[in-house]
Structure 1
Amino acid sequence: MSETMPEQRQDQQPGHEHAMHPEPDFMPRFAGTSRLKDKVAIISGGDSGIGRAVAVGMAREGADIAILYLNEHKDAEKTVKLVEEEGRRAISIAGDIGSEAFCGEAVEKVMAEFGRLDILVNNAAEQHVVEEPLEISQEQLERTFRTNVFGYFFLTKMALRHMKEGAAIVNTTSITAYKGNKMLIDYASTRGAIVAFTRSLSQALVDKKIRVNAVAPGPIWTPLIPASFDPEHVAKHGASAPMQRAGQPNEVASCHVFLASEEASYMTGQVLHPNGGTVVNS
């Protein structure tokens, strides 16, 4: 029997975690083993959803965390507190990753605060439901690509100025890159671009011994869901997955933590698929 969520709706992208009911599960399920001890990680979209779970998960493994977010200040404050409760340092930086200038400023703030950069998690994204392909406006198309693709390029470009041998980049893509989605054509297209970005960048950086991998979640319970869909769709989110439920952010973040760690030392250009059992061609 499939699990359902309460009907709910948010009117702002990318949504607020504190307004969700129930709130997503973001805490790591296991004790840390110092896999990322004294590393420094930047996580875009780190205020909530998968990004928050990644931030807390990496902090539990010993990393200091910088989260970038758009304007969800309350969620960002909580994530910083959660990281600090794991005994690690954290800063939050608000701004639009679709701006190359902001990405440059954010990375320099991280370097000034922590003095190093070992892990980049490109995670921030937005999506907009459109019933008919002809209704996708130029403004929406450009906005979605600017956040979901340009932002990854900009932040990576700035981060690589400081990343050294042994560093890791982990990109969040989506199951929609492989299956498509008739109501999220522009979003799915950006996620496909990130798969190609991951594979290409991994080849470009392999000689520098910087690994680049990705995670392609399926239906996950994050603020992006009530901020995107009508209440009826939200209630059924994840029901069509083989496991018949939505995944939780902490069921995805463990993939990011693994790929950032030396446990994944022989992996680059790869994509992990925490999607509730859907088999995709990777």
Structure 2
Amino acid sequence: MSASRTVPRTEGDWFWLPSARPHAAIRLFCFPHAGGDATAFAALGRLLPQEIELWGIRMPARGGRTRDRYPESFGELVGAVSEAALPHLDRPYAVLGQSIGGLVGYEVARRLTAQLAPTACVVIGFAPPHTWREPPGSGGDAEVRELVDHMLGSDERAGAVITHPALREMVRQVLQADLGLARTYRDPAVALLDCPIKAVLGADDEAVTEGEMKEWARCSTADGGGVDVLPAGHLVLQSGEPAVRQVAGIVRDLLLPSLYQ
């Protein structure tokens, strides 16, 4: 794997490219965790091989989109991202999502399949909805505060946020809004994906079990997914460079062979 030195750029409102590679053979649409934004994938984008161009999803109401209206439902978010992605399906693509972003990515891929099916789907640290007892965040403000502590504790770069009351409150508000979307999730009753779904789990993740992650196999008609357990926390891509390198290797081994079939 080789790193790119290109300057990050945006593509419309919804996409951020940490390492633009206009001649890449495949695009990887990446969906951030609850409370996160596209920059969560900066390190991964630099570590992927040149054949893969990472497109991080820029969530509204944060980062460079603080003034943009937040979607009122999970379905509205999926529809907006899908519509924005349609003009960019001029080459093979795959999706990757971390935490709740795994579910968003999966549903966007299902929506886009009508025009072009994805090559693969990678879900990091989020259980499929058919395993839920209740939607994530249904426990109210107390559960949100607990999740803030848990997720910030999983992020090696979150030290300033943990100790700064105003920043911590901003994270709480965004996280609460993201979890609110999960409570509005409804299965759109479209076909399952017909591509491998690779599940990735941090060994120290207390939010989801390996057994739950294995259930992603039931969300696809294709073989070749399975579960990889890495030495990391819930936010695998924020658990340090070794974990990011392992995810980059998983993506490489999953996507590159498909280019030569």
| Structure-1-length-normalised TM-score | 0.43
User: RCO greater where, 1 or 2, for CA within 8 Å and sep 6 or more?
Assistant: 1
| Structure-2-length-normalised TM-score | 0.46
